[in-house]
Amino acid sequence: MAEKKATRAAYGETLVELVNEGVDVVAVDADLTGSTTTKVLGQEYPNRLINVGIAEQNMIDVAAGLSLTGKVAFTGSFAVFGTGRVYDQIRNTVCYSKLNVKIAPTHAGISVGPDGGSHQMVEDISLMRTLPNMRVLVPSDYMSAKQAIRIAAAADGPFYVRLGRAKLPQVYGPDDIFELGCAKVLNEGSDVTIIACGAEVNESLEAAKLLASQGISAEVIDAFCIKPLDAETIIKSAEKTGAVITAEEHSIYGGLGSAVAEVLGENLPTKMVRIGMQDTFGTSGSADELFKEFGIDAESIAKAAAKLIGK
């Protein structure tokens, strides 16, 4: 079995790879370069990492300024600080002017673990998805995180790349290719569709195995790109199965579940259930304990799917 790796582990090293390939990348961080792994860039290219200290609003504004000089500017910090504390700067400085700034904080979701509810950001996808001109990528493992960072670097304008702390099983290999606006069907099925993002992709694949043991055929889709969402793949799958589950390490309000419900509501009304944080903050515990506590683990997804289709 491949070694588990956190999506954040892909961050600093991919930035170094991009610089080596000639991309004019810089990173701006807010005193968390070790945790976000942007320090890897600073070790190789000291002039390409700026640590502004505990001043997240300045982090966004410095990145915005650097983007105006032609740089591809990435930002760090934890997701709770890198989106929530700086929403005004992202909205009015980055998105309003369509600047080439990539918001890529780490430690998103409840898999942050022992740090507790104050540091477990479960609203960030919602915040970023509603911003005009912002694209939103949520990788599910180390390899897809590398791809997400590369996609963000290659396309002009604002991006949000959601990275996590917990080490996750590897879903993809080095030869898998991702495209902006495209989802990936990882497991074909006929009875129910499970659409997931981030850490919930592996949980959904495990849920599909549990369902298979009960004679239920589950299709699993990785909604790697939440904005723009791959409506065509979602509608096609929903037409086939007639039942949809969404699974995300995020509030059920405003995130992947809401995005899928919008697509289906406008194009193909389908019975569905949203698995995620049910209007609550997180708490302290290990990632595995918290996934079970808040009902976003594989067993909970499988139970919800079986109930939805009446089996």
Domain CATH for 294: 3.40.50.920
Same domain, residue pair 162 and 207: no
Backbone dihedral angles phi then psi of residue 6, each to the nearest 5 degrees:
-80, 150
Percent of the chain with pLDDT over 70: 100
Please determine, for residue 91, whether its predicted confidence score (pLDDT) is greater than 80.
yes
Mean of the pLDDT values across residues 78-103? Answer: 98
Same domain, residue pair 163 and 83: yes
Tell me the two tokens of residue 250.
Answer: 């995020």
Please determine, for residue 203, whether its predicted confidence score (pLDDT) is greater than 90.
yes
Q: What pLDDT is attached to residue 124? A: 98
Same domain, residue pair 150 and 210: no
Please determine, for residue 87, whether its predicted confidence score (pLDDT) is greater than 70.
yes
Q: Diameter of the chain by CA atoms? A: 59
Q: What pLDDT is attached to residue 168? A: 97
Domain residues for 144? Answer: 5-168
Q: pLDDT, tens digit, for every residue of 243-265?
A: 999 999 999 999 999 999 999 99
Please determine, for residue 1, whether its predicted confidence score (pLDDT) is greater than 70.
no
Does any domain span residue 196?
A: yes
Same domain, residue pair 80 and 223: no
Same domain, residue pair 57 and 204: no
Does any domain span residue 79?
A: yes
Q: Which of 142, 168, 194 is the last residue of a domain?
A: 168
Does any domain span residue 178?
A: no
Does any domain span residue 177?
A: no
Size of the chain in residues: 311
Is residue 219 among the annotated active site residues?
A: no
Mean of the pLDDT values across residues 33-55? Answer: 97
How much is the pTM? 0.97
Neighbours of 253 (CB within 10 A): 15
Q: How many domains does one find in the chain?
A: 2
SS3 (DSSP) at 269: coil
Instruction: Residue 124: give its domain's CATH number.
Output: 3.40.50.970
Please determine, for residue 311, whether its predicted confidence score (pLDDT) is greater than 90.
no
Mean of the pLDDT values across residues 256-278? Answer: 98
- Exposed e or buried b per residue across 139-167, where buried means at least 16 C-beta atoms within 10 angstroms of its C-beta: bbbbbbbbbbbbbbbeeebbbbbbbbbbb
Does any domain span residue 179?
A: no
Same domain, residue pair 30 and 153: yes
Please determine, for residue 119, whether its predicted confidence score (pLDDT) is greater than 90.
yes
Please determine, for residue 44, whether its predicted confidence score (pLDDT) is greater than 80.
yes
Strands (E), the chain: 5-6, 25-29, 49-51, 72-75, 101-103, 135-137, 159-161, 167-168, 184-187, 192-196, 218-222, 225-227, 243-251, 271-277
Cα 287 to its chain centre, rounded Å, is: 16
Same domain, residue pair 153 and 255: no
Q: pLDDT, tens digit, for every residue of 225-237?
A: 999 999 999 999 9
| Active-site pick, 3, 13, 21, 56 | 56
